[in-house]
Amino acid sequence: MNLDEIFMRLALDEAWKYQLLTYPNPAVGAVIVQNGRILAVQAHQKAGTSHAEVIALLYAYEVLSSKRIVFDRFDAHKAHDFLLSLPKNFFSECTIYVTLEPCSHTGKTPSCASLLQKLSPKRVVIGLKDPITGHNNGAKMLKSVTLGVLEDACRDLLEPFLIWQKRAFVLFKLAQTTNGRIGGGYLSSQASLYHVHQLREVCSTLMIGGNTVRIDRPILDCRFTQGRAPNVTIYSKKKKFDETIPLFGVNRRSVTVTEELDWLTEPSFVLVEGGERMLKALKDHIDWMLIYQTPKLSTHELSYNIDMNLAFLHQDKKDADIMIWSRQVGH
Amino acid sequence: MNLDEIFMRLALDEAWKYQLLTYPNPAVGAVIVQNGRILAVQAHQKAGTSHAEVIALLYAYEVLSSKRIVFDRFDAHKAHDFLLSLPKNFFSECTIYVTLEPCSHTGKTPSCASLLQKLSPKRVVIGLKDPITGHNNGAKMLKSVTLGVLEDACRDLLEPFLIWQKRAFVLFKLAQTTNGRIGGGYLSSQASLYHVHQLREVCSTLMIGGNTVRIDRPILDCRFTQGRAPNVTIYSKKKKFDETIPLFGVNRRSVTVTEELDWLTEPSFVLVEGGERMLKALKDHIDWMLIYQTPKLSTHELSYNIDMNLAFLHQDKKDADIMIWSRQVGH
């Protein structure tokens, strides 16, 4: 591994922390280095807020100037204006690593390629060219560019974004012990539970099986993150439910009961929670699996039986747990 | 993460690739950096051969000089002599990262601390002070030293070594699908199978249950690595076995059948292969588990039932698999 790959790896690891949480935007990470010193390791965190490069530049500014930024750094317009107000050459000795080509178009936020053009850093290292026409060619606006560092890993990171441009991206989430048991109450660490609630906050709909609703009587809210509870799609033939089940009593939430799956053709992010039954029902539609694996072996009888081929994409620690991201292959 | 931590992390990751394979030596990794350029990422690979720092210095020499080393770089005496023959100041701009304090004593190989003292690099960054009296205080011989970078992670790396100083270090190895199924023929990638045979080559004994021997009729050799097959300890009350079971026909191997476990007090490295039955029988003695987890969900009925608390130590890819190292806790 050369240094370009090491810094791109850092950018990737940071971006994976916000994978899917940036919906409908892509997950992107950025690292800024000056004379062999790392000034910032940042990522895009939430749609509509400052992009990865911009957040990283603000942190780099703080390190280089020993001053604190007092405005909201997630406000992209303020951030761009501030960065453009700095003395010319402020970042001229910096190398900027970014997993995705800086955007050339102006949307909710100003164009990052045009910002970088004006800031004129020493070099910009880009993992993957932006495959979306109209967003691409940002690299052409920059003077010293290295393209394609850890390109395959950067493409994996971008996959959900490319899918939800066209149709529903379906993530099946599961919490299990290391020997594959899924029963026995809360299995996961606090950090894992918090992450699930972060996903619930941003998904288009949370999908769950009718049986689970009837038996577990869940609330399916975002209490750990204190966020807005997601809309719920109950996958069920029987349309009648006991309306005192907590999930029906949550404010500002719509609940749909359906036995159809044709709505998965709509661009969206569908988070599925369930066990073997839902896994089997949705097998042909699952894009990725996210497994929170706890450091326990258990004698609980509940496991899940299905034949499915995966490819591991990324692993991360969540307190004591490992969070394993994988893609379904060969279906 | 600052750069010292990033380079120490690289040294750690490299050392984990040889974890246990260095038996009875500790796993140690080393990285050499000059002016923000990585010259070498290396590890100690096998007891009796050059230590991590030395292997790394040889690679750094090749990069800096653009010359190839023609002698056996694993021959520690030749390596030390060669490094000492280089012009003074050859490494004076280098920073050397090493997960464990360079050894101050001369054993099968010369002292690394004394070598580094003479080579006089710019700085030596050490993860963990050597806890073994007689090997320690190497750092005191060096002029510019940073101690304790990623110390906890470096201590985890060293744990087997510290255990097998006193008694048997017991590793339970398991190959499973992501939903915890352990049946259905070869589960693992070629790289995982190769790694198992590397472990078999270095272990003091390979322990296996009598039932598995009777049912599976294994050979338990090292054909993938073309190495010497390990001695086998069959844990069994019944002492009679069909002598045509392949494992009994392997050359230069001793096979012991026992129902005792008192020999685990002897300093050694015991590799255990088995399923639920062996896991239960050895529960009180298992130090670490090594799980080769394949990217598959399976309907095979064979899984394993046990209550055990673990702590995840390190994960690594082995081709498509994840290799998960964990410690048993709270027993």
Q: What are the DSSP calls for B69-115, one per residue?
A: --S-TT-HHHHHHHHHHSPTTTTTTEEEEEEEPPP-S-SSS--HHHH
Of A97-101, A167-171, B181-185, B247-251, the one with minimum mean pLDDT is B181-185
Distance to chain A for B283, nearest Cα, Å:
12
Domain range list for chain A: 3-164, 166-328
Question: Which of A178, A188, A278, A283 to mutate against chain B (most B CBs within 10 Å)?
Answer: A178
- What count of Cα atoms within 13 Å lies in the side-chain half-sphere of residue A282? 32
Residue of chain B whose alpha carbon sits nearest to that of A315: B315
> Average pLDDT, stretch B202-214?
96
**Spatial CB neighbours of A201, under 8 Å, sequence gap ≥ 6:** A222, A225, A227, A228, A230
Q: Do B307 and A297 touch (CB under 8 A)?
A: yes
- Binned at pLDDT 50, 70 and 90, residue A288 comes out as very high
Cis peptide before B218 (omega within 30 of 0): no
- Residues of A belonging to the active site: 53
CATH node for B166-328: 3.40.430.10
Lowest-pLDDT range, A35-39, A284-288, B309-313?
A35-39
Asked if A46 contacts A72 with a C-beta cutoff of 8 angstroms, the reply is no
Q: How far is A245 from chain B (nearest CA, A)?
A: 30
DSSP assignment of B202-267: H-SEEEEEHHHHHHH------TTTT-PPPPEEEE-S-----TTSGGGG-TT--EEEES--GGGGSS
Answer whether A326 sits within 8 Å of B2, measured CB to CB.
no
Counting residues of chain A whose pLDDT is more than 90, the rounded percentage is 89
d(CA A40, CA B251): 58
Closest CA to A280 of B322, B303, B179, B177: B179
Exposed, middle or buried: residue A328 (CB in 10 Å: 0-12, 13-18, 19+)?
A: buried
Residues of B in contact with A299 (CB under 8 A): 305-307
Query: Most A CBs within 10 Å: which of B31, B178, B307, B331, as the mutation test of the A interface?
Result: B178
Categorize the per-residue pLDDT at A105 as very low, low, confident or very high, splitting at 50, 70 and 90.
confident
Confidence of residue A129 (pLDDT cuts 50, 70, 90): very high
- pLDDT exceeds 80 at position A136: no
Mean pLDDT of B138-143: 89
What residues in B contact A279, CB-CB < 8 Å? 297
What is the number of alpha carbons within 13 Å of residue A317 lying toward its C-beta? 10
Q: Which helix (H) or strand (E) holds B126?
A: strand B123-128
Q: Would the pLDDT of B186 be above 90?
A: no
% of residues, chain A, pLDDT over 70: 100
Question: In this model, does residue A313 exceed pLDDT 80?
Answer: yes
Tokens of A86: 């700095």
Residue range B102-111, pLDDT digits in tens: 998 887 778 9
Q: What pLDDT score does B160 carry?
A: 98
DSSP-derived letter for residue B122 is S
pLDDT (0 to 100) of residue B83 = 97
Task: Name the band, by pLDDT with cuts 50, 70 and 90, for residue A70.
Answer: very high
User: Using an 8 Å Cβ cutoff, are A192 and A323 in contact?
Assistant: yes
What pLDDT was estimated at residue A31?
98
pLDDT at B23: 98
Which residues from A are below 8 Å from B296, CB to CB?
307-310
Asked if pLDDT for residue A131 goes beyond 80, the answer is yes
Mean pLDDT of chain A: 95
Query: Contacts of residue A302 in chain B, CB cutoff 8 Å?
Result: none
In chain A, whose CA is at the least distance from the CA of B39?
A2
DSSP state of A312: E
Mean pLDDT along residues B199-222: 96
Domain A3-164: state its class.
Answer: alpha beta
**A39: its two tokens:** 């000034």
Cβ pair B181:A180 closer than 8 A:
yes
Rounded CA-CA distance B324/A318 in Å is: 15
Are the CB atoms for A1 and B10 separated by under 8 Å?
A: yes
Is residue B2 over pLDDT 90? no
**pLDDT band at residue B127 using 50, 70 and 90 as cut-offs:** very high
Q: What number is the average pLDDT over the span B136-162?
A: 94
pLDDT tens digits for range A75-101: 999 999 999 999 999 999 999 999 999
Instruction: Report DSSP state, residue B288.
Output: E
